[in-house]
Structure 1
Amino acid sequence: MIDEIEITNFRSLKNVRIELKPITVIYGENSSGKSSLFYSLLVARNVLNNPNQPQANFFNLRFLNLGGFDQVVFDHSTEKTIGIGVHGSTSLGRMKYEVSLKREGGSFHIKVGDVDSKIDVTFPYQLNVRKEISIGNLKLSWNGVNFEHIGEVKEEQVKLIEELNSFLEEIRSIDIAPIIRGFTKPIFSKATPGPYPITEDEIANEIVSGGGYLEGKVHSYFRKIFGKSFRSFTPPGSTNFYLRVMEEDNAVAVDLVNEGFGENQVIYILAKLLRSGTKTLLIEEPEIHLNPNTQREFVRVLHEMVKKEGKRVMISTHSEAFVSSILHKVATKKISPKEVVFYLCEKKGKETAFRKQEVNEMGQIKGGLIHFMRKEIEEMEELILGPKGKE
């Protein structure tokens, strides 16, 4: 499983390496580089998912187009190389996989134990380059995006190949709930959702596809947060459908678009996280339009989903209530310190740094949350003592 990510020369991320846990929380000031970390992973996913396209397409995240290489590379230094790498443990030893992008072309780099191999390519890349590598007595062929065995292979060796490919699948299974999300209309037309649904129509169709399995999961967790039911409704003989919410003590269903936006955007997040194609969800500011009490319920349910559904989340937030709620769950032994990691994101000049915040079993962060809460503390001090209270 992937447990670290390493980014070089991507926007303001000159050289960043961070540890991942089931819940990874990143906080910091505006424009400090939090989103850049998320977007870099999506670029790597785009490359790995379909390298046979122009390089500029990798930077089109659909909800946001970052431009091209010249716009994205650190300090717009076009002679530099963008690197997006992941690290993790396998039964064969530590493994590193990295996608590199240059102004012209790029490369795929794999390192497993003592084996180190690199494939240089140009884009569009038609997967027509193959290298042979040997790991122990296992002979493999790889083209940058998948592994195949050479010659006869034993059953235990098949499992090793599957393990190597599953490492790459973890990158392909990264998705995002972007800051711009939610549903803006009451009615939707049925269509087949793609591999990475992002628009409201795609997410709505993802919810109602698959015989109601995802819809049932979304309903179950939504009810735990808000105490309400969530259901789709398709009029008889129609190909259109509605997404609706109903109070537990009220038989009248209301179109989701006419409910509060906090509920609206949470449905979007739940659908994204619970869909079978997602293993890691990047969530931008989950606290949007949620009052502090609801944020606490959301944290509780989010942790439940991570554990029960085998998911992982990376969260960027500006909410003290959201962060404090996670720390409270640690202090009350409902979340283990081993399940969560915090990073303070700071930008100094052109470069972003991620400072790991150590959390103990009492839910305390070493050094406190002073960087996160500085202005609020100053305002509360003036409110209690008066503007001249500090003199």
Structure 2
Amino acid sequence: MLTKLRIKNFKCFEDTGEMEIRPLTVFLGPNSSGKSSIMQFLLALRQTVESPDIQVAFAPNDSWVRLGSYPDFIFRHEWQRELEAMLEFTEHLPAPVRSSRRPNKLRLKVRWRYNKKTTQIRLEESELVYNDGEFSQLLMRKAGRYEATLKIASEDGKEWRHEALPVHFHGFAVRIKKGEKPSDLRQKMSRHPMVFMVGEIVASELRRLFYLGPLREYPQRSYVISGQALSDVGVRGERSAEVLWFASRTKRQQQRMLESVNRWVKELGIAREVKLQRLGKSNQYQVLFVDATTNLPVNIADVGFGASQLLPIIVQGFYAPPGSVLLIEQPEIHLHPKAQATLGDLLMEVVKGGDRQIIVETHSEHLLARIQRRIAEQRFSHEQVAIYYFEPTPDGTKIHRIELDEYGQLAEPIPEGFFEEGLEEALAHMKAVGERKAKEVSVASEGMDN
């Protein structure tokens, strides 16, 4: 699970500061303030570890996100700046690196630099630290090659260290160059199998990032049975129907996912349930929403657009594998206020089990208000949510942590511009009503005098 994040010199951020990522992390702020940029950076890291090119140090352009060239996404377009990041993962570390010590943490710090002549993005330094120093791996670029420094702390407090070890790297995983493995290192590796596994663990964590964008696919009248076991619903939710079809015909665990989907389409007022119907003996099927009022099945292409836009969010929430981090942009689009509030309940339920996280970017006051209400009702803990407000400034976007207390109340100070539009409109309305009534009284009084 991703627990901490810090990014320097990326797009509108000179420095995000260290951000705590909780089970439900909410990004708020005006348009073009950088909320989506955080998600884009994380997706670029996923692209990096998934790239088939072993020479790629940072992959800004692929299927998840397209950032352009280094000068396009570096802060103020100043290509001389280094791109830096820190990520910390915990809890869901695989068995080979779990420790009896708590908490289990793996921290990654990375620096990249741009070569203007070759237009390449180079990894300058990568440091992986496990459990605050129980084990560490430092990768540095020196004289055109990469060298690793390994450190292992023993239980008696002593430290074993090996420096200047020539290595290859791919993503954040390293391997020793052929014929360069000293005998003392071979001995240590037999006792500490995680020595060269930590990079793969980081890659595994990054592959659990899933993104659902704000512009979701328009529903189709029928779908083709692909036979694929998909990992997610797609960045536009275009594979939601395929995921449902697969889940409806597989093991009980996936059947339970379908039951959760049906419960939430009913809770959100979309339909009584979702049904999948094969079209005769063809390799096609249709998605039907059973109307809550008439109990009649309606093709998904014929229901309200907001309803079809909600389905990918529900499906992805319950289909994502354990340890997933779901990145969701503006889930409230096309929804009326009541559904926006209920959407907050959906997000809270997805993360309650403790094995999934959600980072959501939203403009919905109703969604936030529902989270606050559930905290006050003791149905959700304030310790499970982190709220950040993004404030654009001439010096780049500043990120403010908005604290919620145990009653769901916003702690002071609240940044200027934080959902103040509703209050301003209410005050302006009261002022307009007062002025109009005063004018009407004045006119009536003048009429009586005449």
Q: TM-score, normalised by structure 1?
A: 0.84
Q: Report the counterpart of residue 303 of structure 2 in structure 1.
A: 259
1:96 maps to what in 2?
A: 107
Alignment of 1:297-312 (within 5 A): 297-308=342-353, 310-312=355-357
Cα distance change of structure 1 residues 146 and 65 upon mapping to structure 2, 3 Å threshold: closer
Distance in 1, matches of 2:55 and 2:383, equals: 41
Residues 1:296 and 2:334 aligned together: no
- Counterparts in 2 of 1:330 and 1:200: CA distance versus 1, 3 Å: closer
Show the counterpart of 2:69: 68
Question: Could you say what secondary structure the match of 1:265 adopts?
Answer: helix
Structure 1 residue 116: deviation in Å? Answer: 4.4
Q: Match of 1:117, as an amino acid?
A: Q
Report the Cα offset of residue 163 of structure 1: 8.1
Matching residue's letter, 1:118:
L
Change (3 A) 1:139 1:286: farther
Give the C-alpha shift of residue 386 in structure 1. Answer: 1.6
- Matched AA of 2:397: T
Aligned with 2:368 (options 323, 343, 366):
323
Is the contact between residue 2 and residue 87 of structure 2 (CA under 8 Å) also seen in structure 1? yes
2:84 alignment partner in structure 1: 83
Equivalent residue, structure 2, for 1:222: 265
- Alignment-derived partner of residue 117 in structure 2: none
What is the match of residue 381 of structure 1? Answer: 427
**Which of 186, 190, 211 is the equivalent residue of 2:225?**
190
Correspondence for 1:340 among 385, 402, 411: 385
Partner of 1:125: none
Distance 1:161 1:221, change over 3 A: farther
**Structure 2 matches for 1:195-210, cutoff 5 A?**
195=231, 197-210=234-247
AA of the residue aligned to 1:176: Y
SS in 2 for 1:359: coil
Where relative contact order (Cα < 8 A, 6+ residues apart) is larger, the structure is 1
What is the aligned length? 382
Q: Distance in 1 between matches of 2:311 and 2:319?
A: 12
| 3-state SS of 1:9 partner | strand
SS in 1 for 2:38: helix
Query: In structure 2, do the counterparts of structure 1 residues 308 and 344 end up closer, same or farther at CA, with 3 Å as the change threshold?
Result: same
Mean CA deviation greater in 163-172 or 183-192? 163-172
Does the CA contact (< 8 Å) of 1:382 and 1:388 recur in 2?
A: no
Shift of 1:280: 0.8
With normalisation by structure 2, the TM-score equals: 0.74
Matching of residues 103-252 of structure 1 within 5 Å: 103=114, 104=120, 105-107=122-124, 108-112=126-130, 113-114=132-133, 115-119=135-139, 131=148, 133-136=150-153, 143=169, 145-146=172-173, 153=190, 165-191=200-226, 192=228, 195=231, 197-210=234-247, 211-212=249-250, 213=254, 214-226=257-269, 228-252=272-296
- Give me the whole-angstrom Cα distance separating, in 2, the residues matched to 1:265 and 1:293: 15
Q: Secondary structure at the match of 1:386?
A: helix
Q: Relative to 1, partners in 2 of residues 1:159 and 1:132: Cα closer, same or farther, differing over 3 Å? A: closer
SS at structure 1 position matched to 2:423:
helix
C-alpha distance after superposition, 1:259-313 (max 9, x if no partner): 1222212111122222244711111111112222112222122211211372111
Residue by residue, what CA displacement relative to the aligned partner does 1:95-143 show, whole Å, maximum 9, x if unpaired? 311444332222543123335433357xxxxxx9785734335999994
Question: More deviation in 297-306 or 273-282?
Answer: 273-282
Amino acid at match of 1:384: M
The 3 A distance-change label for structure 1 pair 246 and 120 is farther
Report the 3-state secondary structure (helix = DSSP H, G, I; strand = E; otherwise coil) of the residue aligned with 1:373: coil
Measure how far apart 1:49 and its partner are.
2.3
The farther-off stretch of 265-274 and 108-117 is 108-117
Task: Give the SS at the match of 1:71.
Answer: helix
Aligned pairs for 1:273-288 (under 5 A) are 273-277=317-321, 279-288=324-333
Q: Distance in 2 between matches of 1:209 and 1:139?
A: 50
> In the superposition, relative to structure 1, how do residues 290 and 116 fare at CA in structure 2: closer, same or farther (>3 Å)?
same
Please identify, of 9-18 and 269-278, the stretch whose mean Cα deviation from structure 2 is larger: 269-278
CA distance in structure 1 between the partners assigned to 2:138 and 2:193 by the alignment: 23
Secondary structure, in 3 states, of the residue corresponding to 2:419?
helix
Listed one character per residue, the Cα deviations across residues 235-268 of structure 1 (whole Å, up to 9, x for unaligned) are 2321122222112453421121221222212111
- In the alignment, is the contact (CA less than 8 A) between 1:176 and 1:272 conserved in 2? no
Judged with a 3 Å threshold, the aligned counterparts in structure 2 of structure 1 residues 31 and 350 are, in CA distance, closer, same or farther, namely farther
More displaced, 265-274 or 164-173?
Answer: 164-173
Question: Residue 219 of structure 2 contacts residue 308 of structure 2 at CA under 8 Å; is this kept in 1?
Answer: no
Q: Structure 1, residues 186-220: CA drift from partner, whole Å, max 9, x if none?
A: 22223336655335543332332253525444333
- Judged with a 3 Å threshold, the aligned counterparts in structure 2 of structure 1 residues 119 and 158 are, in CA distance, closer, same or farther, namely closer
CA distance in 2, matches of 1:318, 1:179: 12
Spell out, residue by residue over 1:9-62, the C-alpha distance to the aligned partner (whole angstroms, 9 max, x if none). 111121112111111111111111111111111111111222627859922354
Cα distance in 1 for partners of 2:201, 2:360 equals 24
8 Å contact kept, 1:187–1:240: yes
Give identity over the alignment, percent.
20
What is aligned with 2:60? 59
Q: Which amino acid aligns with 1:233?
A: Q
Displacement of 1:344:
0.9
Distance 1:63 1:162 in 2: 25
Residue equivalent to 2:27: 26
SS class of match (2:268):
helix
Judge conservation of contact 1:244–1:254 (CA < 8 Å) in 2: yes
Change in Cα spacing, 1:83 to 1:51, as seen in structure 2 (3 Å) is: farther
- Whether the aligned pair in 2 keeps the contact of 1:284 and 1:315 (CA below 8 Å) is yes
Structure 1 residue 185, shift from structure 2 partner: 1.9
C-alpha distance in structure 2 between counterparts of 1:289 and 1:326, whole Å = 20
Where do 5+ consecutive residues of structure 1 fail to align?
Answer: 122-127
Residue type of the alignment partner of 1:145? F
